[in-house]
A and B are shown apart, each in its own frame.
Chain A
Amino acid sequence: MTDQESVLLPVADTAGDDRPVVTETGGLRGGRCQSCGAGSFPRAYICPSCNNTTIEEAELPGEGSLYTWTTVHISPTFPTPYTLGYIDLSDGLRLLAQVLAPQEQLRCDLPVRLVSSDQSPTGWGFVPVEGATA
């Protein structure tokens, strides 16, 4: 290895990615470690499980269950109120996301699915699966 090759460079992790979080097939645009298979969202650059650095973009499942949620009434980030929840995806990953449904429709452990939506300040979020009950 030459000196030039050994020079470490930073990860350009804040470089803009204008592509939507929701893929054309309704999945979540994330990453998967090519060594151990661990999923990540947002896509990781170093795998926290095995420290491999080969992590390819991957489509993660767009279905999961709502572990918990809250409607936020004070925030410097977005106009209030808005609702946030922790969603446990069907492949085991957990993520924080906007929840796009009236409070009275929400329950812990409710099945939810990923959608693109102009109603969400992030442009995407989760809605209850129709007819589902927790």
Chain B
Amino acid sequence: MIQETAASVIGGAMIKMGKHRESSYSGLAAPAALGALRDAGITKDDVGAVFCGHAFGGMLTGQRIVKELGIGDVPVTNVDNACSGGATAVHLAVRAIEDGHCDIALVIGVDKLTQFGGGTLPLVQEDPEVQNGIVMPAVYAMRARRFLHERDAKVEDLAAVSVKARRHGAANPYAQFQSEVTVEQVLDSRPIADPLTLMQCCPTGDGAAAVVLMSERERKRRGAQGMRAAASVLHSGQFEAGFRDMLRPEISYHSARDAYEAAGFGPEDLDVVELHDAFTIAELVYYEALGLCEPGESVGLLRDGRTTYGGDVVVNPSGGLLSKGHPVGASGVAQVVEVLWHLTDRAGARQVGDAQRALTHVTGGGIAGLDHGACTIHLFERTA
């Protein structure tokens, strides 16, 4: 029995990810927001609350976007949780509906990274690790180094993550990169933070995505179809002054455990996963954290093709952050749009066959003493 206040994603839209220097934040996000309303079969007047995730949009980003659509007089909440900001906005919308604050919520995720002119993601200078020269690729590179040390893995196994991502992304018209690459090309691309090369890092880009969520009672009244949020979990990292196993990121393990418990189904039931592959090593570590395989088995899972079409579960059919792109605040919402398309049989050439259940996972930020600042996991199930 589904509760009347259970939340479902009914509509979604995103713009093509890429370098959109000629667009403002509202220029990026308004088309996605309007697209999501139309996809859900609602108008602007039906929206009861707006949640906007972004990291670099500045003050009142959400209001700057929705005023273009004539949406006002409703609560608009702006959310920063670094790369997890968009997914955190989805989480808040789920909670708002479950708690009865509204029946229809609009969620927007957006960021424009070309405003920084390239290079690594700007980090907060107050952090002691930033003052010592940390950059996001270095965080993951050190995780990769330890992975290669502890596991029976080679740099070619890291590169294979990019090869899969780019193969998937080649079929995604929304992806920033729509071309395939080889292991050799990945490893021969320029070094960023050893052992990670350029093609093992998500690109700089701009993008936006939006979804409409509805209560079960409203969904039934309208006869709308989509996917129910079976679990919506947000965790923050726990400060640790000493040893931390970088191959066992606790924030993702704990979030996944809580999400499966809330949903009543497990990793073996998933058909589609969109996970946080900002760098190649992340995908391998997260296979284990999300329970797609036992700890120590991630390299074999990828090598055996069990995370692509024809395998156990298709991980990152969109091409993931490595191929689709990673405008940080947009990514968590874009993941939800991607799995919505699969769970409603609208994913075109990259459709995962008979997709019933999906997981989205996105972490946020690197700060000293935490494995990550935030982690959001959603589990979705096709509405009956």
Contact = CB atoms under 8 A, between A and B. Distances in A.
Interface stretch (A2-10, A50-58, A81-89, A111-119): A81-89
Interface residues of B, number: 37
A72 B138 contact: yes
Given A92-B242, A93-B241, A75 B133 contact: yes
B242 A94 contact: yes
A108 B247 CA distance: 14
Contacts of A108: 145-146, 149-150
Given A38-B241, A86-B142, A94-B243, A72 B132 contact: no
Interface residues of A, number: 36
B141 A76 contact: no
Most A CB atoms within 10 A — which of B120, B122, B128, B132? Answer: B132
Contact of B192 (A49, A74, A98, A103): A74
A128 interface: no
Nearest to A86: B142
Interface string A97-111: 110000100011100
Contacts of B130: 77
A129 interface: no
Contact of A70 (B129, B138, B240): B138
A133 B310 CA distance: 45
Nearest to A85: B142
A74 B191 CA distance: 9
A48 B241 CA distance: 9
A70 B195 CA distance: 7
Interface of B: 119-120, 122, 126, 128-135, 137-138, 141-143, 145-146, 149-150, 190-196, 239-244, 246, 368-369
